Amino acid sequence: MHELGVTFHIMDYVERVAEENDVTRVNKVALELGEVSTVIESYLHSCWKWAVAKRPLFTDCELEVETIPAVTFCEDCGKTYGTVAHGKTCPYCGGGNTFLIQGNEFNIKEIEVE
C-alpha cells in the first residue's frame, strides 16, 4: 500500500507551504486524482484519517478528492474515448495507435487554512 507514502508526501509538502505562509492550521486539502492513477482513493482516505491525528497542523483536516476521468486519444482516427471502458483499443476504428491524454494526474488542487 503506497497510499501511506503518498499521504506523507502530501502532508510534507503542505507543511512546507504552511510554514512559508505562517499558517498554523489546515482545514482541508483538495486533490485531483486521475481515474487510472495508481492511487486507490479509499486507501488514501484511510491513511489520511490515521495520519492527521499524528500531525497537529492537520487536526480534523478534511481530504477532498476530485476524480479526473481517464481519456485516450486514437492517432488513427483522431477521436477520444473513455479509457476504463475500452483500454488501449479504439472503440471507433479498432486501432491500437493510442495514448492517454488525461486520467493519470495526482495534484494538490487547493489548501484551505484558517
Q: Are 77 and 92 in contact (CB under 8 A)?
A: yes
Give the model confidence (pLDDT) of 91-103 as tens digits: 999 999 999 999 9
77 marked as part of a ligand binding site: yes
Give the model confidence (pLDDT) of 14-73 as tens digits: 999 999 999 999 999 999 999 999 999 999 999 999 999 999 999 999 999 999 999 999
Q: How many domains are contained in the chain?
A: 1
The one-character DSSP state at 70 is P
Domain residues for the domain of 79 are: 3-11+23-113
Of 42, 103, 38, which Cα lies nearest the Cα of 68? 103
Q: Please give the pLDDT value at position 1.
A: 54
Query: Residue 5 CB: number of other CB atoms within 10 A?
Result: 10
- The CATH number of the domain holding residue 46 is 3.30.2320.80
61 marked as part of a ligand binding site: no
2 marked as part of a ligand binding site: yes
- Is the full-model pTM beyond 0.75? yes
47 marked as part of a ligand binding site: no
Of 5, 92, 89, which Cα lies nearest the Cα of 40? 5
Q: Which three cell numbers stand for residue 99?
A: 495514448
Q: Which residue has the cell 501511506?
A: 4
Domain-located, residue 17: no
Domain-located, residue 16: no
